[in-house]
Amino acid sequence: MATTFDTRPLTRPVTKAETSEFRRAMLRSGEAGWRPNTAGAVAVVALFAVVLPTVITANVAFRAGWSLRTSLLLWAALSVGVVVVAVLRRGRGGNHWVRLLRAWEFARANGMRFSPQSADPPYQGAIFGLGRDRRVLEHVWSTDGPVADCGRYRYTTGSGKESKVHQWQFAAIRLEGPLPHMLLDARANNTFMGSNLPTSFDRDQRISLGGEFDRHFDLYAPDQYGHDAFYVFTPDLMAHLIDETHAFDVEFVDDWMFLYTRYDLSVAEPATWERLARISDTVTARMRDRSRTYRDLRVADQAQAPLPPGMVAHAPVHAPHAIAPQGRRLRRKRYWLPTALIVGGWFAFQALRSWLDR
């Protein structure tokens, strides 16, 4: 049966009255994801209500030669105006609340849930667990069905002037059993510096599957898991990956499949769910089958499990699902050369300074 999502709620006309009522209901719900950031909003409004009127008043008063009293009156009027505009704009809600209403109705129509923001997800993929202030914005998820999670993931690195906010759009797809940690790094979204992913893995873990597939993806698999990768990525699966996910980075961690992109998985766009439906019927269906039948023969109880008559040792059989420790995580890249150059440069500098002080 083909996967379908009812995307009509994402495009239906929404009235101002509906938006206002929805906003009031959600703010009254008490759910954490719907609580407004009142402190942050007050701080921003207060900043603009002080800085902007002060700059304008100082400029006008200096040019016109106004008295202190007249200048203060102008400053007060401008400050009140900034606050009134901010309150009215926040009260109307605008396109932001229309977008939230449509996404909420879409989730409800498809047996899923929606929150404008959720806490840091517990996933182990390449984009997760980095930086601080990690959260999922415009979050749609479900406890049923293969497409379990979709949203905009955000985290912050650095501090002060070096602070930077990173954003990714992702989909988390539940498999039927664990697989070795494998990554398909899409070449279509790479930069001139290489992979756009925030986590790098040792390049000696790269595996070539040959032909057209290698022109679209760089495949990483743990050491000695090359034959396992050939079992998982059958020719028909590789063809569907090229057709449907060539613009995504695809990662397999434990019993999850992740799709990563910067721009192409907005939960408020019907095209996102149409694309995920096609992926579910092609890539996901085959990956769920692979994960159900795969077993890692490096695990003792699986290697010793009796095989059906006529089945060779490396053929997939139904057996207790487990992945050996060496296959659970890819080895991350270590930047030894930059570290060595920095340490060597520091010692060279100290030696030079000591020599000059003689």
Question: What are the pLDDT digits (tens) for 110-120?
Answer: 999 999 999 99
Q: Is the model's pLDDT at 357 over the cut of 80?
A: no
Closest CA to 276 of 121, 149, 115, 105: 149
Give me the domain span that covers residue 41. 16-92
Is 224 in the same domain as 77? no
Angstrom distance (rounded) from CA 93 to CA 98: 8
Average pLDDT estimate for 89-104: 78
Q: Which of 40, 61, 92 is the last residue of a domain?
A: 92
Coil vs helix vs strand at 67: coil
Q: Are residues 157 and 295 in the same domain?
A: yes
| Contacts made by residues 223-231, CB under 8 angstroms, sequence distance 24+ | 223/326, 223/331, 224/326, 225/180, 225/182, 225/327, 227/314, 228/180, 228/294, 228/296, 228/327, 229/180, 229/182, 231/290, 231/294, 231/314, 231/316
Assess whether 129 and 249 both reside in one domain: yes
Tell the residue number behind the tokens 């007050």, with chain if given. Answer: 42
Question: Do 169 and 281 have their domain in common?
Answer: yes
Cα-Cα-Cα-Cα torsion 91, 272, 250, 235, nearest 10 degrees, comes to: 180
pLDDT at 122 over 70: yes
Place of tokens 């409004």: 45
Mean pLDDT of 25-53: 68
pLDDT score recorded for residue 46: 58
Question: Largest Cα–Cα distance of the chain, in whole Å?
Answer: 100
First-residue to last-residue Cα distance in the chain: 83
pLDDT tens across 184-234, in order?
Answer: 999 999 987 789 999 999 999 999 998 899 999 999 999 999 999 999 999
The arithmetic mean of pLDDT across residues 234-244, rounded, is 96
pLDDT at 41: 45
Structure tokens at 301: 């109880």
pLDDT score of 136 more than 80: yes
Q: Does residue 132 lie within any of the structural domains?
A: yes
Number of structural domains in the chain: 2
Backbone phi and psi for residue 138, each to the nearest 5 degrees, phi listed first: 45, 65
Pairing type for strands 217-220 and 206-207 reads antiparallel
Is 52 within a domain? yes
Residue 47 pLDDT exceeds 60:
no
Give the SS3 label for residue 318.
Answer: coil
Buried b (16+ CB within 10 A) or exposed e, 282-317: bbbebbbebbeebbbbbbeebeeeeeeeeeeeeeee
Looking at per-residue pLDDT, the higher value among 341 and 238 belongs to 238
Q: How much is the pLDDT for 312?
A: 41
Q: Are residues 240 and 171 part of one domain?
A: yes
**Distance between CA atoms of residues 272 and 43, nearest Å:** 35
Q: Which of 4-18, 41-55, 289-303 has the lowest mean pLDDT?
A: 41-55
Are 238 and 296 found together in one domain? Answer: yes
Burial (0-12, 13-18, 19+ Cβ within 10 Å), 148: middle
Mean of pLDDT values over 349-354: 58
Residue 75 has, within 13 A of its CA and on its CB side, a CA count of: 15
Q: Within a domain: residue 351? A: no
Q: State mean pLDDT over 163-173.
A: 95
> What does the mean pLDDT of the chain come to?
83
Q: Is residue 226 in some structural domain?
A: yes
pLDDT at 62: 66
Same domain for 59 and 141? no
**Is 278 within 8 Å of 244 (Cβ atoms)?**
yes
- Of 92, 124, 148, the one marking the end of a domain is 92
Same domain flag for 128 and 233: yes
Q: Which residues pair with 153 in a beta bridge?
A: 136, 168
Residue 346 has pLDDT above 90, yes or no: no
Instruction: Tell me, yes or no, whether 322 and 185 share the same domain.
Output: yes
% of the chain at pLDDT higher than 90: 60
pLDDT of residue 350: 56
pLDDT at residue 354 is higher than 80: no
Q: Examine the domain organization and report whether 180 and 299 are in the same domain.
A: yes
The Cα–Cα gap between 141 and 171 comes to: 9
Same domain, 174 and 64: no
pLDDT score for 351: 58
Residues 6+ apart with CB under 8 A from 289: 176
Q: Is the pLDDT of residue 23 over 80?
A: yes
Residue carrying structure tokens 């497409």: 147
Q: What does the chain come to in residues?
A: 358
Summarize the confidence of residues 257-271 as an average pLDDT. 94
The answer to whether residue 6 sits within a structural domain is no
Question: Which DSSP state fits 134?
Answer: E
Note whether 121 and 258 are same-domain residues.
Answer: yes
Identify which has the larger pLDDT, 346 or 241. 241
